[in-house]
Amino acid sequence: MKFSKICLACCIVLFVIPTVNAQTKKIKRPKNRVGVGSVDRFVQESFDLYDKVYKYDGYAAAGTPLEDEDIDVLEEALDEMTSLSETAPDILDDLDGVGVLKQGKATLQMNRAKKALQYSIKTTKELLLGQRERESEESEQNNDDTKVDEINKTSSPETNDKDPTENEVEEELSNVSDNLEIYSKFDFVPGDQLIYFDDFSQDFIGDFPSKWNTNGTGEVVTVGSVEGKWFELKGGFGITFIPLLPQPLPEEYTIEFDLLAIVDKKTSSTARLEITLDNNDKFKEGTSKASAALPLGQYGAFNIRVFNRINGETLINSTLNTDIRDAILNKPHVSIAVNKRRFRLWINQKKYIDIPQFIAPNKVLNTIKFNLLGMRDGTDRLFISNLKVAKGGIDLRRKLMAEGRISTNGILFDSGSANIQPISLGIVRQISQVLQQDQSIKLNIIGHTDSDGSDDANLKLSKARAEAVKSALINIYKISKDRLTTDGKGASQPVGDNNTADGKAQNRRVEFIKI
């Protein structure tokens, strides 16, 4: 009779279970809730059953035989596990309309719960049939365990107990910009006279940013533990986003910004971000323009498209073979340099576009426009931050040689730290070339900060940042340490208004002075 019950229980499993090795290392129960009721219930019930089965599996490992009541408990658990497994597809449907990264967290937790459930069903059947053999060595955890723990660490238990708003994204994407060496030949040099800067620090979450214009919609958001505020662009037909520059663009200038893209292999091949320089400051296209369209799709390597118009005539309409899929997924930094008619574009340390006669002559392109195309509504998402436009981008080497000193806010550091952002190495590289060309030159490197924080902390930070630049010159470009001295002034010598984002960006600078 008991054997019949065992066979019947084993036969009612209605789905195929992949092979799951016996484990001595316990699968970790997620510490935090997702905030989607059905997902949280599925995860909790799966791990409640898993804990029960794991206990009996421990008995088997110790050679303890199962009693009749143990068998009854396991048979009942098997029925519950089978029923629970059949609810999973419905739970996935419950994620429709939930934010993309919240979906990611839910999916990772459900994957972990399914793994626990699969282990439990397989182990229960083997225990009931007396066929359970436990491995002597601990097997490795599924990578999902680590991923979920990393996501859960981004916020406190209190914030995870409540449903995040749609302006919050739960996961910080990894950033590939963590290796200075790969940027050692990066030759982008940002302008040294700030025209415009926006990190949205002065805007309220959920609002359209005050220093932009659009004929569509968008909002300022926070993105999980990713630092700062971000402007989420909302795509659509004919939708344009225009930063409100305080002055026309000069002949030579640079544009920089950070992107955060939430896309996947179902994202359309037509999904792209267009960056356009235009002679029309309204939403309508002008008679002269220059555009670069960055592909966002992931299921294939799609081309970068470049096209221009000069006095109503299209002169360039080309596609550049490339693959930027990995860069797009890893919070890329985009750098653009316009030197009269020449147009260059870098993504992280790699230059993708360099066209000598791309820009219309006579400084007629005075407006920057962003267009987001081909995105799936509610699924694909794109965020932008730290947009910086600066006059210059000139050769700092000649200026240092001729004048004996330069000041630049183009060397960027992580907020509140002395970690140089690798995208800043174009300037450090130029300084190294001056020192390599003239072996008699010695430099004093002076760091400056904005006024955020205490005077003591800013003084210490400014000195540490100067030391970081010195270390980069020594360790990456092999400059003798005897030729370099450092100092820091904190926030004591501002050149801009510390009450504005623009002014703070001007004050965060590094000086190089010949001694």
Other CB atoms within a 10 A radius of the CB of residue 39 amount to 25
Give residue limits of the domains in the chain.
2-160, 182-394, 395-515
- The span from the CA of 432 to the CA of 426, in Å, is 10
pLDDT per residue as tens digits for the range 351-406: 999 999 999 987 678 999 999 999 998 889 999 999 999 987 666 787 888 889 98
Other CB atoms within a 10 A radius of the CB of residue 282 amount to 13
Q: Do domains 182-394 and 395-515 have the same CATH topology?
A: no
pLDDT per residue as tens digits for the range 117-156: 888 888 888 888 776 654 433 343 444 444 444 434 333 3
Other CB atoms within a 10 A radius of the CB of residue 320 amount to 13
CATH topology (fold) of 395-515: 60s Ribosomal Protein L30; Chain: A; (3.30.1330)
Say how many CA atoms lie within 13 Å of 89 toward its Cβ.
Answer: 3
- The span from the CA of 40 to the CA of 42, in Å, is 5
pLDDT per residue as tens digits for the range 472-487: 899 888 899 999 999 9
Give the predicted TM-score (pTM) of the model: 0.56
Q: Which amino acid is at 158?
A: E
CATH topology (fold) of 182-394: Jelly Rolls (2.60.120)
Say how many CA atoms lie within 13 Å of 329 toward its Cβ.
Answer: 11
What average pLDDT does the chain have? 80
- Burial class of residue 461 (count of CB atoms within 10 Å of its CB; 0-12, 13-18, 19+): buried
- The pLDDT value recorded for residue 460 is 92
- Burial class of residue 411 (count of CB atoms within 10 Å of its CB; 0-12, 13-18, 19+): buried
Residuewise pLDDT in 10s, the chain (515 residues)? 444 444 433 433 333 333 334 444 688 888 777 777 778 888 888 888 888 888 888 777 766 777 777 787 888 888 888 877 776 655 555 665 556 566 677 778 888 888 888 888 888 888 887 766 544 333 434 444 444 444 343 333 333 333 333 344 433 333 322 345 556 567 788 887 889 999 999 999 999 999 999 999 999 999 887 889 999 999 888 899 999 999 889 988 999 999 999 999 899 999 999 999 999 999 988 899 999 999 999 988 999 999 999 999 999 999 999 999 989 988 899 999 998 999 999 998 789 999 999 999 876 789 999 999 999 988 899 999 999 999 876 667 878 888 899 888 888 888 788 888 877 788 888 899 899 888 999 999 999 999 988 999 999 999 999 999 999 899 888 899 999 999 999 999 999 899 888 888 889 999 999 99
- The pLDDT value recorded for residue 179 is 47
- The pLDDT value recorded for residue 335 is 93
